[in-house]
A and B are shown apart, each in its own frame.
Chain A
Amino acid sequence: MKKQILQTLAGALAFLASGVALADELNMRVGVTDISRQVYDLHMTIFYICVAIGVVVFGVLFWSVFRHRKSLGAVPATFHESTKMELAWTIVPTLILIVMAVPATKVLVAMYDTGGEDMNIEVRGYQWKWQYKYLDEDYNNSFSFFSNLATPKAQIVNRSAKTENYLLEVDEHLRIPINRKVRFLVTSEDVIHAWWVPDFGIKRDAVPGMLNELWAIVETPGIYRGQCTELCGKDHGFMPIVVEAMPEAEFDAWYATKVSSEVVRQESMTKTFTHDELMVQGEGIYGTYCSSCHMANGEGVPPVFPAIAGSAVAMGPRDDHLSLVINGVSGSAMQAFGKQLDPVQLASVVHYQRHAFGNDAGDISQPQDVINLSNGQ
């Protein structure tokens, strides 16, 4: 009877253990880097050791519970110490710990093997989005973009059905090549965040004022998803991380176009644009960033979202208008766009607002004006 119970118990534990090892949704992901596989193996090793300890310890405990009960007529023994036993269960666990510490140290040392990287990407946490910046010495410049949650609000508040990658999709993926050592330099603009891609086996806090190093050599192309893992305020649950690992050639092609458009963009900072050019660019930006609140026709939704058409700001001094867009209006839904848009974009969207919807400020905004304003001139 007791034997059966014990056997069932051991069986159940073993079943649980193997179930855990097999099922994907129940266990740590094996991942797609050498490091992540090492971490997974380490995890399974310590897990099995813990299960074994559990089976032995709980086995003895339950044996005692079932056998040494008063209702079975058990008479209490009188022993209450044994130096031998006590030494044994101090030494044996210490040995088991050493067995665990050796592979753990190896993996940790491997993880700290930074240097020799093929490329560097700065990862910067913001409340509540990530910014990725490719640091490229060859071009003596770098380009960056923000990666925002792309799940529509309607899904979050249950007004439309949730799609497959609910809360794990962004407007622009971080792209990296496979088979190259990519170094991530993680930091933060405001509070502490943490950057985690489970499939790469790496996680690091993004701390303001500190630059943390991480690296990965991804072996399989694919899209890998993670989330911010350090409480960072209201929308901590809504700043996913999506990394797309691409075959090298594909990545290089993408990178080349990105860089050349970056060169063009950099050059355009010092350019002087005509009214028509600004209006065309501005209209596009207005459509992406402004029209969800201020409406495509510039009428807004007063009083929450003021109209642009006929607005005092759009008809008032140009620099006031520029600063408002750069710095936002605190305590309102109007964000500070200075961090998200570059001077060309800012100049054109402001110029557009001042000359669309029947507005006619009659002046012109150039990227240089934005730069001057931002530099406090």
Chain B
Amino acid sequence: MSEVIHADHHDDHAHGPAKGLLRWLYTTNHKDIGTLYLWFSFTMFLIGGVMALVIRTELFQPGLQFIEPEFFNQMTTNHGLIMVFGAIMPAFVGLANWLIPMQVGAPDMALPRMNNLSFWILPFAFSMMISTLFMEGGGPNFGWTFYAPLSTTYAPDSVTYFIFAVHLMGASSIMGSINIIATILNMRAPGMTLMKMPMFVWTWLITAYLLIAVMPVLAGAVTMMLFDIHFNTSFFNAAGGGDPVMFQHIFWFFGHPEVYIMILPAFGIVSHIIPTFARKQLFGYTSMVYAVASIAFLSFIVWAHHMFTVGMPLAGQLFFMYSTMLIAVPTGVKVFNWISTMWRGSMTFETPMLFAIAFVVLFTIGGLSGLMLAITPADYQYHDTYFVVAHFHYVLVPGALFSIIAAVYFWIPKWTGKMYDESLGKLHFWLSFIGVNVTFFPQHFSGLAGMPRRIPDYALQFADFNMISSIGAFIFGFSQVFFLYVLIKTIRSGAPAAGRSWEGAKGLEWTLPSPAPYHSFTYPPEVKNEEVHG
């Protein structure tokens, strides 16, 4: 650790951030931009969360109590879009910005100005999308999957703004990915070979390729929508010879890799936290890397499992059923490796570890329901019911989101130089854990009992489960506001943190002092074997 501090002292030109608010507008520093991404994501998370609570309030009891069906649809749509594109994805990009340069021993991202641009596009994209809610005719109301022709011929006028917002988000993601790939491939410190890279770097490298591969496909889909709406083409309009089902193929060719974009970096995070608190090296580093790569590959050939009921030939159904089932194998490998890492370790249960263990358990539950959904004949019964809602919330909330929260607790001492309050962190964990399960576990049952998703009102037999779900949602919502409090308290008055903030922590970032200096690794560090995971 000391060598690195000395190395920093050699840098005579070391300077801190610029003064004033404009710093944030002009910054090209990976740490500043990481911070911007993370706060942006948290803001979006709270906005999307409020929408979720509007939905759960309306669903607390059967009957229409608070909002009209039309507005309900706008809430479900915008909740989904904001959480996926505004909360989860930017949070991972923020973490990538903060961590990847420090973890590979680089001074900054490879393309700092583009980095600034790819962040600053986002507030405009989302302001535009959210502003449509206040336009005449309302905002997007066709679900986050925006199936045509509901999203074209039958869409509100504001759909054009939505399309433009999606284009902007896509541009931002593509630039972010190019930057991450360029950084990882070109800026590793000498000695950091590919197979010595930390898992978070590996997972992001693969995620970035997925993003570059599928974001243009999404852009293509919305462009065809734009043409159908304004220029009288008929890509998705059956009356003009088009095909609404083609929209779904294109959407899910983007959409399924997209769901893995939201989980692969989470795999990386958990692969750092579990070894740290088990005080034991990550089990099966090599197979972890190969598992991520195979998941990424498979994610391109399973898309139509979202479309089993659309009417495909038997051979197609079988192909997509088998390929989807196959994804369970590499996913299982990851889970087994995490558990083997814990096995015969010497574990402690600080907040990041609690979130990481909950991740392993609850993500696995989501994976198992995913396996059930892969079984085509059974999926006919599950599809578009709350069973699917339960599935993807299990993989996304205690999956992707818990990993992000775990990452924040894990690295916040490095970012701020301050330690969070452990008992508040644990309280936050238990509230979130209870909240998430009370919200989403009962949805398996309401789905099996036959409750369709995306409905503002429901038959009486679903009443109990919906009430429980709504109560859970409010517990969960409250606990995330509490998280904000914990964060602010840490930043304001947390106890000073050591450079290596956790006993078992390994990796170049922990060789830096806490908080990490504004410019770190201006000279490449030595990559010592004891800092390497694999």
Selected interface stretch from B118-126, B127-135, B142-150, B222-230:
B142-150
Whether the pair B381, A203 counts as a contact (CB closer than 8 A) is: yes
The answer, among B243, B345, B455, for a CB contact under 8 Å with A209, is B243
- A64 and B380 in contact (CB under 8 A), knowing A26-B449, A108-B321, A158-B64? no
Whether the pair A43, B460 counts as a contact (CB closer than 8 A) is: no
Shortest beta-carbon distance from B157 to chain A in Å: 14
**B70 to chain A: which residues have CB within 8 Å?**
234
Whether the pair A236, B381 counts as a contact (CB closer than 8 A) is: no
Whether the pair A68, B347 counts as a contact (CB closer than 8 A) is: yes
Whether the pair A203, B377 counts as a contact (CB closer than 8 A) is: no
Q: How far is the CA of A25 from the CA of B332 in the complex (A)?
A: 31
Whether the pair A57, B340 counts as a contact (CB closer than 8 A) is: no
Identify which of residues 196-212 in chain B touch chain A, using a CB-to-CB cut-off of 8 Å: none
The answer, among A47, A54, A61, A112, for a CB contact under 8 Å with B339, is A61
Whether the pair B384, A194 counts as a contact (CB closer than 8 A) is: yes
Identify which of residues 325-341 in chain B touch chain A, using a CB-to-CB cut-off of 8 Å: 325-326, 328-329, 332-333, 335-337, 339-341
Q: How far is the CA of A28 from the CA of B309 in the complex (A)?
A: 17
A229 interface hit (Cβ, 8 Å): yes
**A39 to chain B: which residues have CB within 8 Å?**
377-378, 380-381
- A46 and B371 in contact (CB under 8 A), knowing A80-B280, A104-B321, A207-B244? yes
Whether the pair B371, A42 counts as a contact (CB closer than 8 A) is: no
Q: Output the nearest chain A residue to B152 by Cβ-Cβ distance.
A: A191
Whether the pair B309, A203 counts as a contact (CB closer than 8 A) is: yes
**A89 to chain B: which residues have CB within 8 Å?**
332-333, 336
B317 interface hit (Cβ, 8 Å): yes
Q: How far is the CA of A279 from the CA of B449 in the complex (A)?
A: 49
Say whether chain B's binding surface is mostly helix, strand, loop, or mixed.
helix
The answer, among A57, A79, A86, A236, for a CB contact under 8 Å with B287, is A86
- A70 and B279 in contact (CB under 8 A), knowing A97-B326, A108-B314, A192-B244? yes
Q: How far is the CA of A165 from the CA of B457 in the complex (A)?
A: 13
Shortest beta-carbon distance from A210 to chain B in Å: 6
Q: How far is the CA of A55 from the CA of B287 in the complex (A)?
A: 24
Q: How far is the CA of A25 from the CA of B445 in the complex (A)?
A: 7
Contact with B along A319-362 (1 / 0, CB 8 A): 00000000000000000000000000000000000000000000
**B445 to chain A: which residues have CB within 8 Å?**
20, 25-27
B285 interface hit (Cβ, 8 Å): yes
Whether the pair B459, A168 counts as a contact (CB closer than 8 A) is: yes
A85 interface hit (Cβ, 8 Å): yes
Contact with A along B148-163 (1 / 0, CB 8 A): 0110011000000000
Selected interface stretch from B254-262, B358-366, B403-411:
B358-366
Q: How far is the CA of A42 from the CA of B379 in the complex (A)?
A: 11
A373 interface hit (Cβ, 8 Å): no
The answer, among A65, A90, A237, for a CB contact under 8 Å with B455, is A237
Whether the pair B310, A207 counts as a contact (CB closer than 8 A) is: yes
**B348 to chain A: which residues have CB within 8 Å?**
69-71
Whether the pair B458, A53 counts as a contact (CB closer than 8 A) is: no
Q: How far is the CA of A190 from the CA of B450 in the complex (A)?
A: 25
Q: How far is the CA of A84 from the CA of B284 in the complex (A)?
A: 11
Whether the pair A208, B343 counts as a contact (CB closer than 8 A) is: no
Q: Output the nearest chain A residue to B457 by Cβ-Cβ distance.
A: A237
Q: How far is the CA of A238 from the CA of B365 in the complex (A)?
A: 32
**A70 to chain B: which residues have CB within 8 Å?**
279, 346-348
A270 interface hit (Cβ, 8 Å): no
Contact with B along A63-96 (1 / 0, CB 8 A): 0110011110011111111100110011001100
- A97 and B449 in contact (CB under 8 A), knowing A76-B280, A210-B238? no
A367 interface hit (Cβ, 8 Å): no
Whether the pair B69, A167 counts as a contact (CB closer than 8 A) is: no
**A209 to chain B: which residues have CB within 8 Å?**
238-239, 243-244
Shortest beta-carbon distance from B348 to chain A in Å: 5
- A232 and B448 in contact (CB under 8 A), knowing A28-B381, A76-B278, A108-B318? no
A29, A77, A82, most chain B CB atoms within 10 A: A77
**B417 to chain A: which residues have CB within 8 Å?**
none
Shortest beta-carbon distance from B398 to chain A in Å: 14
Q: How far is the CA of A201 from the CA of B153 in the complex (A)?
A: 32
The answer, among A64, A71, A94, A236, for a CB contact under 8 Å with B345, is A64
Whether the pair A227, B452 counts as a contact (CB closer than 8 A) is: yes
B461 interface hit (Cβ, 8 Å): yes
Shortest beta-carbon distance from A128 to chain B in Å: 10
Whether the pair A205, B381 counts as a contact (CB closer than 8 A) is: no
B372 interface hit (Cβ, 8 Å): yes
Q: How far is the CA of A166 from the CA of B450 in the complex (A)?
A: 14
Q: How far is the CA of A165 from the CA of B270 in the complex (A)?
A: 47
A226 interface hit (Cβ, 8 Å): yes
A156 interface hit (Cβ, 8 Å): yes
B352 interface hit (Cβ, 8 Å): no
Shortest beta-carbon distance from A236 to chain B in Å: 6
Shortest beta-carbon distance from B339 to chain A in Å: 5
The answer, among A29, A108, A212, for a CB contact under 8 Å with B450, is A29
Q: How far is the CA of A47 from the CA of B154 in the complex (A)?
A: 39
The answer, among B318, B325, B346, for a CB contact under 8 Å with A100, is B325
Identify which of residues 5-38 in chain A touch chain B, using a CB-to-CB cut-off of 8 Å: 20, 24-29, 38
Whether the pair B346, A166 counts as a contact (CB closer than 8 A) is: no
Whether the pair A76, B345 counts as a contact (CB closer than 8 A) is: yes
Whether the pair A167, B459 counts as a contact (CB closer than 8 A) is: yes
A50 interface hit (Cβ, 8 Å): yes
Q: Output the nearest chain A residue to B242 by Cβ-Cβ distance.
A: A209
The answer, among B279, B314, B361, B450, for a CB contact under 8 Å with A58, is B361
- A237 and B244 in contact (CB under 8 A), knowing A192-B147, A201-B381? no
**A85 to chain B: which residues have CB within 8 Å?**
336, 340
**A235 to chain B: which residues have CB within 8 Å?**
69
Whether the pair A65, B456 counts as a contact (CB closer than 8 A) is: no
Whether the pair B371, A101 counts as a contact (CB closer than 8 A) is: no
B244, B309, B340, B454, most chain A CB atoms within 10 A: B309
Q: How far is the CA of A177 from the CA of B189 in the complex (A)?
A: 75
Identify which of residues 223-243 in chain A touch chain B, using a CB-to-CB cut-off of 8 Å: 226-238
Q: How far is the CA of A92 from the CA of B278 in the complex (A)?
A: 26
User: 6 A-B Cβ contacts within 8 A?
Assistant: A46-B372, A50-B369, A108-B317, A190-B154, A212-B311, A234-B70
Q: Which 10 A-B pairs have the closest CB atoms?
A: A209-B238, A237-B455, A212-B311, A77-B344, A229-B384, A80-B281, A50-B368, A107-B377, A208-B238, A76-B280
Q: Given contacts A58-B364, A194-B309, list 7 more A-B pairs with CB under 8 A.
A: A57-B335, A61-B360, A76-B344, A93-B329, A192-B147, A234-B70, A236-B452
